[in-house]
Structure 1
Amino acid sequence: MKLSYNWLKDYLVSDLTPQQIADAMTDIGIEVDSVEEQEEIPGGLAGVVVARVLECAAHPDSDHLHITKVDDGTGEPLTVVCGAPNVAAGQKVLFARIGTVLPGDFKIKKSKIRGVESFGMICAEDELGIGNDHAGIMVLPEEAVVGTPAKDYLGLKTEAVIEYEITANRVDAASHIGVARDLYAWMVAHDVPCTFAYPSIDGWKDGEGEAMPVEVLDATASPRYTGVTIRDVKVGPSPEWLQKKLMSIGLKPINNVVDISNFILFELGQPLHTFDADKVKGGKVIVRRASDGEKIVTLDGVERTLAPTDIVIADSEGPMCIAGVFGGAESGVTDSTVNVFLESAYFDPGSIRRTSKKHTLQTDASFRFERGADPMVCEYALKRAALLICEVAGGHIVGKMQESCPEKIERKTIELDYGRIDRFVGQKIGNDVIVKILGALNYQFLEKRENGALVAAPSYMIDVTRECDVVEEILRIYGYNNIALPKHMKMSVNATPSPEPEAIRNGISNFLAANGFVEVMNNSLTKGAYYRGLTSFPEENCATIVNPLSSDLNVMRQNLIFNALEVVAYNCNRQIQSMKIFEYGSVYSRDPQKDSTVLSSYSEHTAFSLCITGASQKSWNKTPEKSSFFDLKGYVDLLLRRFGADINQLEAKPAPADIFAEGIEYSLPGQHLPLAVLGTVAPALAKKFDVRQPVYVAEINWQTLFLLVKRNKVAFKELPKYPEVRRDLALLLDESVAYSDLYRSAFRAGKKLLKQVTLFDVYRGDKIPQGKKQYALGFVLQDLEKTLTDADVERIMDKIMSTFRNEYGATLR
């Protein structure tokens, strides 16, 4: 959001600079992003100076151009070709030097016009952006000093604009007066001289005749609705003061009537809507719920189908706009509008939010209404806007203000105990200080007592309902930095589990970072469409969001793999083809067999994901190598071995086919959740993410991995004194025999003397029968107490071979 410093001073008068105002805003909980100086004319007319026309003669090859000599204060006259009919020798003018950039991004260059070189431009008002006159150049009084920058001569001003953010509960600060109210309270509490006042509406009076009537059919949808009829307006451009105020915060002026409604929105924070009164069929404004399937064409030209949850402003024939969200295309104010109906209302925040999300319409009005506008400002805002419309567009108010408010809207009352407030704060700040701050914040003291009070909170503070909320208001104005820290702080220290999860997690992250991986962080909210048609992660298992921000963020993620693919797609689209990334985060799922409103139907656990794609970096001494599944498997194996896992002792099965083209799923024996799943992403899935290169992804379940970590017992022993012996076997096996089966059987037969088994070659082809394969296995034998003899080695190898023959039908080659 943007706040104009000059606009703010219309309500809050003080000597604080823009930066001091920004610092105070941050102190009271309105976070400031930046303070920028904006020039009245973009660029500040840099390069434009006061100059004198020394000579002026007709151009020999033109009937309207002139060749002039111009003194711009640099000492040497410049030749300038000028087409203005009023240029003459002796004039003082505004002259743009070569290199100057005028409004409209028009850069002045040296040029040749009809054979004569021109070294600049003598400017008219519209060329400088200070007026609309283009009949001739701008002639200055004789007292203008040659060489004076145009910015100084014209007195062009700069304006400070403060950009800031508000939290969801502080919609009261989404306007200039809203911020001014808070700053006033801060200044009063800190004895900073200032004055604060709302703009006067003393000029308001009811008009003659009959105003357009209003009928509210659903008071729960619109607890308060006000309207006024203004006739004989003249729609046209807004006056300069209004246009400048809107442009200072980045709004484009439209016309005087619409600009006033926008002005009030950013002045008071109250959204208004203007209707062409002559387009209201039946002569009555009706506030109601939409009929199921009812349609309306909105201002963006889109036809939208409404539901009974939507609130509409309608006439006798149908809806004119979606209340609190977006106007209709047929009922808005145009250049031909003569009579206006002006609306100021308070709508049910929940209904507005549902409508905004359903129709994916996020407007300045819906932003405020769905967070809770001030119901008590409706009348003031309406009268303020009506008076301004009459001022800038003419016209007159007809009849009385129309209002519907069946139930009086009361301010929330809160009991305060000053002693308890001091305990909340942590120190005694004084009852008089509490009263002073709350008074400046517009709290009404219904009862004052010696050690407490009964107060009514301001209607615009929607989140203040309890005493602790009032304490927060007091503290942000008093200043959290003014609360002294005690010399002694008492705290409870929880026993840290061993091993410490955070330390293990950091160790894993450091391990991956040391191996060239970059950590990424993604939103836990994701697109439900990703899970459509999957069996390993069914769509019905998604934890859905009741009020999603968008269709792209409507469920909680069931895995980290899809986030990794999003990151790959994002980078590939920006010419970054090679990546090694990892992420640590939570994943979520829902049991579709249970009631979705019951908390136990949802589950959450954390996981690590690893992703590799692309080729290694090109270098003069290294040929780039494409990533492969075995690169990823190597990193996963290293990580698991780091925590004591023997890969060949894990249970393994093929990875889910709807996610991976090929891959492995590891599990610890007896565990329901898998330890890790890794493989090559299926091309059909990669295509969903617009990824056109092979991607290798792994996801490690943190809960299962941590079980592995806790089981891992680190032991130290001396290095063996006796040598290792290596033997190799070439085995002919059935295709169905897995290496992991051979691995386990070998260790069972070799017992303590077998230290290592490796598979170093797999062969299928010539001289290998159909349905068979050749495995070449390496075995490392070692006795920790003596040197192995040939007889010892042969005895063990015979036993291993016999086991292979009996269990798997293996034969030697």
Structure 2
Amino acid sequence: GSRRERHFRPELVRMWSQKLGIRTESSQRFERGADPGFPPDASARVAQLLLKLAGGVAGPVKDDFSELPRPSRVFLRKDYPSRLLGVDIPEEKTHDILAGLGFKVEDRGEAFYVEVPTRRRDISIEADLVEEVGRIYGYGNIPGKVESSGEFLGKKPRDLRHRVREIVSRLGFQEVQSLEFVSEREIKAFSAEDIAVRIMNPLTEQFSCVRPLLMMGLLNVVSINQRRGVRDVRIFQVGKEFRYRGSEELPEEREVLCAVASGRLEKNWLEKERELDFYDVKGLLTRLLEELGCGYDIEESDLPYLDYGAAVTVNGKRCGWIGRLKEEIAELYDLKFPLYVLEVEIASLEPCEKGPVEIPRYPPVKRDISVLMDEEVPYRELERLIRKASSSLLVEIRVIDVYRGKPLPEGKKSITVGLLYQHMERTLQDEEVDGEVEKIVEILAKEGYIIRGYEGGVRRS
């Protein structure tokens, strides 16, 4: 009788499978690369079983594949496994492990000459062999090593990413990892056709482009959560954006922090449950920048995918934005609730040179001021005047509430600001803090602002 076993070139199988639009179990197997050395062994086994069970005579073996890939050969230095894994592994142990896995190992003095079986297409370099040795030796037998802080000196980008993640996580956001691929529909919705990097052979239309905005991946995560009944979402990711720069250049890669928030703020001992708003996300941004020691400015700005927003300038360089997502973008992702987004380039968050900050030993003193101002006046102008009138005792300014509507006059808004005072070496007296607040009230009154009231020890409306 005759028998046939086949091995096909992976690149040809994949090319014709795509051109003809035919995807079968066989094509998927061979395009990933099957073992070219397997057919002779399989053929011999099949012949053995046929002769044993059915009788007959075995025919000749005919091989039409004259250029089968040859087994690869890799040199492995005998001391390399110990150096790479950080544990002393005897040469004999390395030899026995590789031989036991089916590798042909030849001792050539300071190195092993290893012939890799054709079935192991994943083995091509010296480090691959070390991985096999470590796997069989047992990762649990490799002792852990704590690197000294001196070994990390000079690695600011890595340290900076870690600090950003730690700060944002501590402020109540959960880190996620989103897909780097987006659809052409998303690209058009964000008017990003000119900067989109398109994939030549996408698996599906849904993954036909690489994201030009990290926000796109996070919006898909929020959409999945909302469809499953999770309304309150606060997530972030530190990842890369990819932007087209022409056919002759590689895409531009920017590493950014992106955070999105939607839903309600949980009830706590300071305030009642309420809906998240723009100022919550802005508070995350300002807290992050202040902890990193960056000088910053936030100014109102228009972006095509935001209802309203602001541009972020860090150390004199514009490097990000913050705002509320437009309704038409939200509808694209089937988002049911308002969503607030911020994005900042990581490279711009290089922290200022400053030493460790001492933990305060004395309690802070809080004061609140409510100011009536014109609608078109941005909050940053109010904050600038407050800081101008204050001394170093003022350690934090926080927006507590923004109110519009009756009984306020048309075109006016009321902003309530929380002021936090603290001294590092002693407890502040009420009279000192009252004097600080009076200075703020005076300068605001001179600039035409109306003080509706202030609490905490001076006077109340």
Secondary structure of 2:33's match? coil
Secondary structure of 2:275's match? coil
Corresponding residue for residue 592 of structure 1: 245
Displacement of 1:673: 0.8
Name which of 197, 211, 223 aligns with 1:569.
223
Name which of 319, 326, 337 aligns with 1:694.
337
Corresponding residue for residue 234 of structure 2: 581
Between the aligned partners of 1:669 and 1:488, the Cα distance in structure 2 is 35
Corresponding residue for residue 87 of structure 1: none
Asked if the contact 1:591–1:602 (Cα under 8 Å) also holds between the matched residues in 2, the reply is yes
Between the aligned partners of 2:328 and 2:144, the Cα distance in structure 1 is 62
1:744 paired to 2:362: no
Asked if the contact 2:235–2:259 (Cα under 8 Å) also holds between the matched residues in 1, the reply is yes
Asked if the contact 2:197–2:244 (Cα under 8 Å) also holds between the matched residues in 1, the reply is no
Between the aligned partners of 1:611 and 1:495, the Cα distance in structure 2 is 35
Could you say if the C-alpha distance between residues 649 and 802 of structure 1 is closer, same or farther in structure 2, counting changes exceeding 3 Å?
farther
Displacement of 1:689: 2.0
Name which of 140, 153, 156 aligns with 1:495.
153
1:458 paired to 2:117: yes
1:668 paired to 2:318: no
> Which whole-Å deviations, capped at 9, do the CAs of 1:164-218 have from their partners, x for residues lacking one?
xxxxxxxxxxxxxxxxxxxxxxxxxxxxxxxxxxxxxxxxx55xxxxxxxxxxxx
Could you say if the C-alpha distance between residues 590 and 352 of structure 1 is closer, same or farther in structure 2, counting changes exceeding 3 Å?
farther
Corresponding residue for residue 300 of structure 2: 653
1:480 paired to 2:138: yes
Asked if the contact 2:234–2:262 (Cα under 8 Å) also holds between the matched residues in 1, the reply is yes
Between the aligned partners of 2:88 and 2:288, the Cα distance in structure 1 is 52
Asked if the contact 1:586–1:606 (Cα under 8 Å) also holds between the matched residues in 2, the reply is yes
Corresponding residue for residue 629 of structure 1: 277
Displacement of 1:578: 2.1
Could you say if the C-alpha distance between residues 698 and 360 of structure 1 is closer, same or farther in structure 2, counting changes exceeding 3 Å?
farther
Displacement of 1:352: 3.6
Matches within 5 A, 1:208-223: none
Corresponding residue for residue 67 of structure 2: 407
Between the aligned partners of 1:796 and 1:472, the Cα distance in structure 2 is 66
Secondary structure of 2:151's match? coil
TM-score under structure 2 length normalisation: 0.67
Tell me how large the CA RMSD over aligned residues is: 5.6
> Which whole-Å deviations, capped at 9, do the CAs of 1:21-72 have from their partners, x for residues lacking one?
xxxxxxxxxxxxxxxxxxxxxxxxxxxxxxxxxxxxxxxxxxxxxxxxxxxx
Secondary structure of 1:533's match? helix
Between the aligned partners of 2:257 and 2:83, the Cα distance in structure 1 is 42
Could you say if the C-alpha distance between residues 357 and 522 of structure 1 is closer, same or farther in structure 2, counting changes exceeding 3 Å?
farther
Could you say if the C-alpha distance between residues 494 and 650 of structure 1 is closer, same or farther in structure 2, counting changes exceeding 3 Å?
closer
Between the aligned partners of 1:463 and 1:552, the Cα distance in structure 2 is 30
For structure 2, list consecutive stretches of 5 or more residues without a partner in the other structure. 422-427, 450-461
Secondary structure of 1:650's match? strand
Could you say if the C-alpha distance between residues 404 and 589 of structure 1 is closer, same or farther in structure 2, counting changes exceeding 3 Å?
same
Which one-letter code corresponds to 1:525 in the other structure? E
Between the aligned partners of 1:760 and 1:423, the Cα distance in structure 2 is 60
Could you say if the C-alpha distance between residues 564 and 801 of structure 1 is closer, same or farther in structure 2, counting changes exceeding 3 Å?
same
Between the aligned partners of 1:482 and 1:741, the Cα distance in structure 2 is 59
Asked if the contact 1:415–1:455 (Cα under 8 Å) also holds between the matched residues in 2, the reply is yes
Could you say if the C-alpha distance between residues 795 and 566 of structure 1 is closer, same or farther in structure 2, counting changes exceeding 3 Å?
closer
> Which whole-Å deviations, capped at 9, do the CAs of 1:491-520 have from their partners, x for residues lacking one?
9723277995434532331221xxxx5x25
Asked if the contact 1:527–1:553 (Cα under 8 Å) also holds between the matched residues in 2, the reply is yes
Secondary structure of 1:373's match? coil
Asked if the contact 2:197–2:243 (Cα under 8 Å) also holds between the matched residues in 1, the reply is yes
Corresponding residue for residue 613 of structure 1: 263
Secondary structure of 1:666's match? strand
Which one-letter code corresponds to 2:168 in the other structure? I
Between the aligned partners of 1:492 and 1:408, the Cα distance in structure 2 is 51
Could you say if the C-alpha distance between residues 628 and 667 of structure 1 is closer, same or farther in structure 2, counting changes exceeding 3 Å?
same
Corresponding residue for residue 31 of structure 2: 370
Matches within 5 A, 1:134-145: none
Could you say if the C-alpha distance between residues 713 and 652 of structure 1 is closer, same or farther in structure 2, counting changes exceeding 3 Å?
farther
Between the aligned partners of 1:724 and 1:482, the Cα distance in structure 2 is 53
Displacement of 1:534: 4.2
1:677 paired to 2:327: no
Between the aligned partners of 2:139 and 2:392, the Cα distance in structure 1 is 69
Corresponding residue for residue 189 of structure 1: none
Between the aligned partners of 1:787 and 1:469, the Cα distance in structure 2 is 71
Which one-letter code corresponds to 1:657 in the other structure? P
Asked if the contact 1:762–1:774 (Cα under 8 Å) also holds between the matched residues in 2, the reply is no
Secondary structure of 1:644's match? helix
Higher-Rg structure is 1
Between the aligned partners of 1:487 and 1:744, the Cα distance in structure 2 is 49
Displacement of 1:586: 0.5
Corresponding residue for residue 181 of structure 2: 526
Which one-letter code corresponds to 1:703 in the other structure? I
Displacement of 1:685: 1.7
Corresponding residue for residue 773 of structure 1: 411
Between the aligned partners of 2:255 and 2:108, the Cα distance in structure 1 is 53
Could you say if the C-alpha distance between residues 486 and 710 of structure 1 is closer, same or farther in structure 2, counting changes exceeding 3 Å?
closer
Displacement of 1:677: 1.1
Between the aligned partners of 1:385 and 1:667, the Cα distance in structure 2 is 72
Secondary structure of 2:330's match? helix
> Greater share of helix residues, 1 or 2?
2
1:507 paired to 2:161: no
Between the aligned partners of 1:669 and 1:629, the Cα distance in structure 2 is 26
Could you say if the C-alpha distance between residues 494 and 796 of structure 1 is closer, same or farther in structure 2, counting changes exceeding 3 Å?
closer
Secondary structure of 1:345's match? coil
Which one-letter code corresponds to 1:347 in the other structure? F
> Which whole-Å deviations, capped at 9, do the CAs of 1:253-282 have from their partners, x for residues lacking one?
xxxxxxxxxxxxxxxxxxxxxxxxxxxxxx
Asked if the contact 2:178–2:221 (Cα under 8 Å) also holds between the matched residues in 1, the reply is no
Could you say if the C-alpha distance between residues 763 and 353 of structure 1 is closer, same or farther in structure 2, counting changes exceeding 3 Å?
same
